[in-house]
Amino acid sequence: MVRSGKMLVTYGAWGVSTRGVAAAVAEALASDRLSVDVRPAREVDNLAGYRAVVIGTPLQAGRLHEDVREFVERHRTALHDIPVAVFAVCLAMKADTPENRRDVEGSLATLWEACPEAKPVDIGLFGRAARPREVALQRLPFARRARHKNMKPLGGSYSDWDDVVAWTARAHDRLIGG
């Protein structure tokens, strides 16, 4: 099984959570033989050269990000031939219950209504991001915590890293073979 090539991780986002998870997925996917581009969905004009695609979206009021809807619509022909995995980042998945999964998966399923051949090989569901910087701050002694609070945040926020890495490993195998 050939595992080399290039993959795309693309996302729509209102805030920073989905972008942070997309970056974590890309980092977990990348290897010596597999390069990974991370790009906002609205900036992707062409899927030529990608052997697989991972699409990430947040949810607002049960709806997926418009950029992701448009991405699937715009690339529907190419997506027939490229394996796709999808992940959602949303508050509901902070409580990973069968009901919440069903609701979020129901929202994601609307993506494939116009493009049934492009059904994802895997779906990742992540609760709204935990913020490592804030978690780290809580562990600092009070005086240092006050000083660090005035510093600029270092970056985005991330869902639980272990969950993202575990899902990415499974999605990788389904996208391009284990």
Site for ligand FMN in 128-147 (CB under 6 A): 128-129
Task: Output the CA torsion sign for 36, 153, 66, 121.
Answer: positive
> Which of the stretches 7-15, 43-51, 79-87, 141-149 binds ligand FMN when contact is defined by CB under 6 A?
7-15
Residue 141 DSSP SS3: coil
Q: How far is the CB of 128 from ligand FMN (least distance, A)?
A: 4
Q: How far is the CB of 177 from ligand FMN (least distance, A)?
A: 30
Is 110 a binding residue for ligand FMN by CB under 6 A? The answer is: no
Residue 58 DSSP SS3: strand
Site for ligand FMN in 27-86 (CB under 6 A): 58-62
Site for ligand FMN in 83-102 (CB under 6 A): 89-92
Nearer to ligand FMN among residue 1 and residue 135 (C-beta): 135
Residue 44 gets which letter from DSSP? -
Looking at beta carbons, which residue is closest to ligand FMN? 15
Q: What is the DSSP code string of 61-130?
A: TTEEPHHHHHHHHHTHHHHTTS-EEEEEEEGGGGS--HHHHHHHHHHHHGGGTT-GGG--SEEEEEESPB
Closest among 16, 14, 118 to 76, alpha carbons compared? 118
Figure out which of the listed residues 16, 30, 82, 130 binds ligand FMN, where binding follows CB under 6 A: 16
Residue 40 gets which letter from DSSP? E
Figure out which of the listed residues 3, 14, 110, 155 binds ligand FMN, where binding follows CB under 6 A: 14
By the criterion CB under 6 A, which residues form the site for ligand FMN? 13-18, 58-62, 89-92, 128-129
